[in-house]
C-alpha cells in the first residue's frame, strides 16, 4: 500500500507526475496564500522555539484555509477522475476521520522574543479512523485535505506531511511518497538514495519543508513503513 | 428514505431544525454572494426567457462558488458530527457521483433584450451514481454540495433544489424535504397542506425559489416520491 502526499507547490503540475497511490493526502499552502492575498488578510508564518516554521491560523485565516484547501482537494479529484481514476475528496472532518487536539497555547519566536499565541486553530493529530478509510478505499482512492476535527467539533489546520505520515502508520502502509517541486539536494545535487541508518547524517543539510519531510521519513521508517520517496520535478530521493 | 435539502438561507440557523435524513443536499448562495463581495466580484443573477432566475457563473465565479459551497458543506458536516450524527461531505465531483452536461449556450433577458451567454459553467444533471450513494449511506449520512462533473471533467454549478429532487428520484425515496427560511405563504398565511391534484392551482401564488420548489415537488410526486415538505422557520407546507 502506498500513501501519497501531494505538496501545495505541485498542485498545478500534476500532469508531470505519475499518480500511483492507494490514498492521497495533500497540502494547499499556495492556494491559501493566494486567497489570503486576494482578501487582504495578512499571511503570517511563525517559527517555533525549536525552529519549525508554521502558519499562524486565527479564526479568520482558518475559514480561508478551509475554502482554499477544499478547492485544492476538488482540483486533485477532478484531475484523477479525468484520468479514469475513481477518487473521492474528503477532509478529516468527514466521518470524523481525523481527530486532533487543538494547540491552545503555541509558542513562537518573533524578532528574537518568545511570544505566546492563544487564538490559533492548529491541531495535533490524535486519531485516524482506519476502518472507515479502508471501507472508502474499496470504493475508490480517498483524497484527504489537511483539516482535522477537534474534540469540541471545530475544524483545525493540520500539517499535510504529518497527516500523510500518521495515515501511513495507522494503515501500516509499505510506502510513503511525498510529491514536491524538488527532491533532496546536497550541494546542488539530488541525493538518490539514503539508507535509514544514515538518515541522521543528512538532517543537517535539510531546511524548512525538506527537514520536516526527512523527520517524517524517520518516524515512518521506525514505525514499519519500508520505503519513503521524495519525488521532485528534478529527480527523486529514496529513503529505505 | 428521506432526502433533505438545506437551503443557503438557513445554513446559519441549523440548530433551529431537526435534521432527520438519510441523505442531505445543500445550497450555499449566501456564502457564494458573501465571498464574491469580499473579492470584489460582481454578483449577477440573470433571468431566463421563461422567467427563471439563475446565477451567472463564468470561470471566475465558478472557482468562488466551489470554495464557498465546500465551506457550507463542511459547516453542515461539523454541525452533524457535533450532534453525534456520522456525516460525510462530498460534491458531485467525488466518485463522479453527479454527472451533468454543460449548458454551452444560455439565453437570458437583460433590460428586456434577449442575450446569448457562452461562458457560463452551469450544468443540466444527467446521471446520479446511486450504487455509490447507497454504499456511502451504509457508512454515514452523505452531505452533497451542488457541484457536478461535466463530460469533459470540469466542475459545474448545478441547482441544489434540482439536485435534491434528482437524487430523491434516483434513490426512489419516499420523502423529499426542503429546509428554507419560509414555508409557502398565500396572503401572508402558511399553506399547511396541498394535495398533489391541487398543486397546479397554487403555482401562480409562488415566486422565485418557492416556485422552483413547487415545480420540483410536482416532478418528485409524479416520479413516485410520496411526500414533499417545505419546512420553514414559520411552519411547514406538506405536499402529498
Mean pLDDT of B103-130: 94
Mean pLDDT of A211-231: 96
Chain A interface with B: residues with Cβ < 8 Å: 35, 38-39, 63, 66-68, 70-71, 73-74, 77-78, 81-82, 86-91, 93-96, 132, 135-136, 139-140, 147, 149, 153-155
Q: Identify the pLDDT of residue B200.
A: 94
- Of the candidates A8, A128, A163, the one whose C-alpha atom is nearest the C-alpha of residue A73 is A8
Q: How far is CA B175 from the centre of its chain?
A: 15
Mean pLDDT of B180-184: 94
Q: Give me A106's grid cell.
A: 503555541
Which residues of chain A have a CB within 8 Å of the CB of B96?
A: 81, 86
The Cα-based distances of B2 to A173, B19, B229 in angstroms read 39, 11, 10
| Binary contact (B81, A93; C-beta < 8 A) | yes
Which residues of chain B have a CB within 8 Å of the CB of A87?
A: 94-95
User: At residue B51, does pLDDT exceed 80?
Assistant: no
Residue of A74, A84, A135 to mutate when probing chain B, most B C-beta within 10 A: A74
Of these ranges, A27-31, B104-108, B169-173, B206-210, the one predicted with the greatest mean pLDDT is B169-173
Average pLDDT, chain B: 95
Which residues of chain B have a CB within 8 Å of the CB of A91?
A: 74, 89
| Binary contact (B74, A39; C-beta < 8 A) | no
Chain pair A-B, CB pairs under 8 angstroms? 94
Q: Identify the pLDDT of residue B50.
A: 79
Which residues of chain B have a CB within 8 Å of the CB of A78?
A: 93, 149, 153-155
User: At residue B216, does pLDDT exceed 90?
Assistant: yes
**Under a CB-based contact definition with an 8 Å cutoff, are residues B123 and B160 in contact?**
no
Burial of A65 (0-12, 13-18, 19+ CB in 10 A): buried
Mean pLDDT of B193-220: 93
Work out the pLDDT band at B18, boundaries 50, 70, 90: confident
Q: Identify the pLDDT of residue B209.
A: 84
The highest-level CATH class for domain B2-239 is: alpha beta
Interface confidence, given as ipTM, is: 0.95
Q: What is the pLDDT of residues A159-205, one digit of tens each?
A: 999 999 999 999 999 999 999 999 999 999 999 999 999 999 999 99
Residue of B94, B136, B141 to mutate when probing chain A, most A C-beta within 10 A: B94
| Binary contact (A74, B155; C-beta < 8 A) | yes
Q: What is the pLDDT of residues A80-106, one digit of tens each?
A: 999 999 999 999 999 999 999 999 899
Which residues of chain B have a CB within 8 Å of the CB of A100?
A: none
Find, in chain A, the residue whose alpha carbon is nearest to that of B135: A139
Q: What is the pLDDT of residues A32-61, one digit of tens each?
A: 999 999 999 999 989 888 777 888 999 999
**Is the dihedral angle over the CA atoms B154, A64, B12, B136 positive or is it negative?**
positive
Which residues of chain B have a CB within 8 Å of the CB of A96?
A: 81, 86
Q: Identify the pLDDT of residue A230.
A: 97
Q: Identify the pLDDT of residue B49.
A: 86
- The hierarchical CATH code for the domain A2-30+73-96+127-239 is 3.40.1160.10
Q: Identify the pLDDT of residue A49.
A: 86
Counting other chains too, the contacts that B84-87 makes at CB distance below 8 Å and 24 or more residues apart are: B85/B19, B85/B140, B85/B141, B86/A95, B86/A96, B86/B139, B86/B140, B86/B141, B87/A94, B87/A95, B87/B24, B87/B140, B87/B141, B87/B142, B87/B143
User: At residue A74, does pLDDT exceed 90?
Assistant: yes
Q: Identify the pLDDT of residue B54.
A: 84
Query: A5: distance to nearest CA of chain B, Å?
Result: 19
Percent of chain A at pLDDT exceeding 90: 90
**Could you say which of B35, B78, B91 has the minimum Cβ distance to residue A93?**
B78
Q: CB under 8 Å to A165, separation ≥6 — which residues?
A: A176, A216, A219, A220
**Could you say which of A77, A87, A94 has the minimum Cβ distance to residue B77?**
A94
Average pLDDT, chain A: 95
Domain locations in chain A as residue ranges: 2-30+73-96+127-239
Work out the pLDDT band at A107, boundaries 50, 70, 90: very high
Amino acid at each position: 500500500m502506498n500513501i501519497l502526499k501531494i505538496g501545495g507547490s505541485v498542485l498545478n503540475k500534476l500532469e508531470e507526475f505519475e499518480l500511483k497511490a492507494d490514498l492521497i493526502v495533500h497540502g494547499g499552502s499556495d492556494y491559501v496564500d493566494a486567497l489570503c492575498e486576494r482578501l487582504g488578510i495578512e499571511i503570517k508564518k511563525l517559527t517555533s522555539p525549536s525552529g519549525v516554521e508554521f502558519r499562524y491560523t486565527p479564526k479568520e485565516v482558518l475559514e480561508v484555509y478551509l475554502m482554499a484547501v477544499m478547492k485544492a482537494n476538488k482540483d486533485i479529484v477532478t484531475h484523477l477522475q479525468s484520468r479514469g481514476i475513481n477518487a473521492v475528496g474528503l477532509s478529516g472532518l468527514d466521518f470524523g476521520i481525523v481527530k486532533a487536539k487543538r494547540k491552545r497555547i503555541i509558542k513562537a519566536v518573533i524578532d528574537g522574543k518568545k511570544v505566546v499565541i492563544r487564538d490559533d486553530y492548529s491541531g495535533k493529530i490524535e486519531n485516524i479512523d482506519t476502518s472507515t478509510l479502508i471501507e472508502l478505499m474499496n470504493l475508490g482512492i480517498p483524497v484527504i485535505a489537511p483539516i482535522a476535527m477537534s474534540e469540541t467539533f471545530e475544524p483545525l489546520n493540520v500539517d499535510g506531511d504529518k497527516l500523510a505520515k500518521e495515515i501511513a502508520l495507522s494503515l501500516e502502509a509499505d510506502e510513503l511518497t511525498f510529491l514536491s517541486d524538488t527532491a533532496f539536494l546536497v550541494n546542488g545535487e539530488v541525493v538518490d538514495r539514503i539508507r535509514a541508518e544514515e538518515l541522521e547524517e543528512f538532517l543537517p543539510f535539510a531546511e524548512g519543508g525538506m527537514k520536516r519531510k526527512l523527520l517524517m521519513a524517520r518516524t515512518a521508517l521506525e514505525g514499519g513503513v519500508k520505503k519513503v520517496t521524495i519525488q521532485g520535478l528534478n529527480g527523486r530521493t529514496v529513503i529505505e
